[in-house]
């Protein structure tokens, strides 16, 4: 039975304690609130753009930030990115739009088709996985749309699983400097055109978010992107889940070890120079930003 109120349990925490529906929802909301306060993700007066896909993570993030916004005096709006992935995004985008309309949340739409004159499905395979292209273009789109709409923070639905996967991917690929950019809020890259990025769901697992979104009855179509199967991330995710079931708490341990060394990583890599893209004027590590690189390859 629930450890708090002895109702029927819906979830067992890492400590082996049971939570009922109401206590579990409270636990999730409390965890997000604590993450926001501890890492100062949001301050009074902030204008927070929430990257929205219509999936469980971003919808949960938006739902909870909307709940908190009036009490803690900050503004929110949503940015819906449509990458142009057939049989997938149009379905989740519909959920997202409905949800925003119903909850009176301002919604900005950014479609790859309209803004880049290219959809993800049409990107020619140049040996780069769709998810890599997708990630680069989406980050670019979110940052630009957030800034153009005067956001002071950009929130995404990244969860503990995503973060642990990213860390291991960087390790395995020898890209440890990339990990300096991880963490609950933006790491080292400074540029006047960068909107600080925050991850309120940082300490929640994918499973916790799924349970929450189902219990809250958020209007979500639970489908998977057709590209997600062949990604390296997917493989890492599987391995992590196998470890997690054998050694419960593995993912949390990976994250807390990482957070311990994050300040050192940031120190070491903070001098990475960020310039300006000679084509589009957005932040770029090289002469041309990675988004323009992809777009150039596909014209």
Site string for other proteins, 158-177 (x = CB under 8 A): -x-xx---------------
Nearer to Zn ion, 5 or 176 (CB): 5
43 binds other proteins (CB under 8 A): no
221 binds ligand SF4 (CB under 6 A): no
Nearer to Zn ion, 123 or 198 (CB): 123
HEC secondary structure over the chain: CCCCCCCCEEEECCCCCEEEHHHHHHHHHHHHHHHHHHCCCCCCCCEEEEEECCCHHHHHHHHHHHHHHHHHCCEEEEEEEECCCCCCHHHHHHHHHHHHHHCCCCEEEEEHHHHHCCCHHHCCCCCCCHHHHHHHHHHHHHHHHHHHCCCCEEECCCCHHHHHHHHHHHHHCCCHHHHHHCCCECCCCCCCCCCCEECCCCCCCHHHHHHHHHHCCCCCCCCCCCCHHHCHHHHHHHHHHHHHHHCCCHHHHHHHHHHHHHHHHHHHHCCCCCEECCCCCCEECCCCCHHHHHHHHCC
The correct pick among 11, 18, 23, 153 for binding Zn ion (CB under 5 A) is 23
215 binds Zn ion (CB under 5 A): no
The correct pick among 52, 105, 225, 265 for binding ligand SF4 (CB under 6 A) is 225
Q: How many residues bind ligand SF4 (CB under 6 A)?
A: 9
From the list ligand SF4, Zn ion, other proteins, none, partner contacted by residue 206 (C-beta under 5 to 8 A by kind)? other proteins
Smallest gap from Cβ 234 to other proteins, in A, equals 8
Smallest gap from Cβ 131 to ligand SF4, in A, equals 3
Q: Which of positions 237-296 make contact with other proteins (CB under 8 A)?
A: 237, 241-242, 244-245
Smallest gap from Cβ 293 to ligand SF4, in A, equals 17
Interacting residues with ligand SF4 (CB under 6 A) = 83, 85, 130-131, 134-135, 225, 227-228
């Amino acid at each position: 039975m629930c450890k708090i109120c002895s109702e029927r349990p819906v979830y067992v925490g890492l400590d082996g304690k049971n939570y009922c529906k109401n206590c579990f929802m409270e636990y999730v909301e409390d965890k997000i609130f604590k993450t926001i306060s501890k890492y100062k993700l949001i301050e009074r007066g902030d204008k927070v753009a929430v990257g929205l896909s219509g999936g469980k993570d971003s919808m949960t993030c938006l739902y909870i930030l909307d709940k908190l916004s009036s009490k803690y005096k900050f503004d929110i709006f949503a940015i819906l990115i449509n990458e142009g992935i057939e049989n997938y995004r149009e379905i989740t985008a519909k959920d997202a739009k409905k949800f925003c309309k119903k909850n009176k949340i301002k919604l900005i739409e950014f479609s790859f088709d309209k803004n880049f004159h290219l959809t993800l499905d049409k990107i020619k395979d140049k040996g780069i996985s769709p998810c890599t292209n997708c990630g680069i273009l989406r980050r670019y789109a979110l940052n630009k749309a957030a800034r153009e709409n005067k956001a002071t923070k950009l929130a995404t639905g990244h969860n503990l699983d995503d973060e642990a996967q990213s860390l291991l991917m960087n390790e395995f690929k020898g890209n440890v400097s990339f990990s300096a950019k991880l963490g609950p809020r933006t790491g080292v890259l400074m540029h006047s055109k960068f909107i600080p990025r925050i991850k309120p769901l940082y300490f929640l697992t994918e499973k916790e978010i799924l349970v929450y979104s189902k219990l809250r009855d958020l209007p979500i179509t639970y489908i998977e992107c057709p590209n997600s199967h062949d990604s390296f991330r997917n493989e890492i995710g599987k391995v992590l889940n196998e470890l997690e079931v054998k050694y419960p708490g593995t993912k949390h341990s990976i994250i807390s070890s990482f957070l311990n060394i994050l300040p050192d990583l940031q120190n070491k890599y903070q001098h990475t120079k960020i310039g300006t893209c000679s084509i589009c004027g957005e932040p770029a590590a090289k002469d041309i930003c990675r988004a323009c690189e992809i777009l150039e390859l596909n014209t």
